[in-house]
Amino acid sequence: MKNIVLTGFMGTGKSIVGERLAGKLGYRYCDMDALITERAGMSINQIFALHGEVQFRDLETEMIEEIAHKERLVISTGGGAVLRDKNRKLLREKGVIINLVTSAEEIYSRICSDSSRPLLKDDMSLPKIQTMLKSRESYYADADIRIDTTGKKVEDVVDEIVCRLEGIRGFEDSVG
């Protein structure tokens, strides 16, 4: 059975959608950021502050190498996990990649009061989010399925994912 890999910018709903989707399908849920913070013994902000983004991305790749070949997981990746070709390749080997898309304005409204976003620590603004989204678009577009979560309830997004998974090899017995 294939894994379901949720990608997307911060604030697109990967964690909450992932949890609910895993419950609906009877899959195990795996939050990459939570696994990394558990392994490192510190928050993502602390990892960025003490070791930098490159070290964080290395930890992210190590975690992907460990979990990518397991089965029946719903994996919520960090917003930048898809920036490395190796990560996308590993996740795709035994998974269907679903990219969650949300308007920059809605992302801003969802995360503007969240201080746990190290890449926006110095500039939590709509223009910064728009710039980052634009620079990452080609990586996010490298997905099997793209779903817009703007203005949608979590349950509706989960139902849309389940509907889109029907007929994909490896999911025939899991959905429907």
Q: Which domains does the chain have, with CATH numbers?
A: 3-165 (3.40.50.300)
Q: Which residue has the higher pLDDT, 169 or 33?
A: 33
pLDDT in tens, 60-101: 999 999 998 899 999 999 999 999 999 999 999 989 999 999
Is it the case that residue 174 has pLDDT exceeding 60?
no
Tokens of 124: 């939590």
Nearest to 146 by CA among 102, 116, 105, 88: 102
Angle at which helices 104-111 and 126-141 cross, to 10°? 120
CB 5 within 8 A of CB 77: yes
Res 21: pLDDT: 98
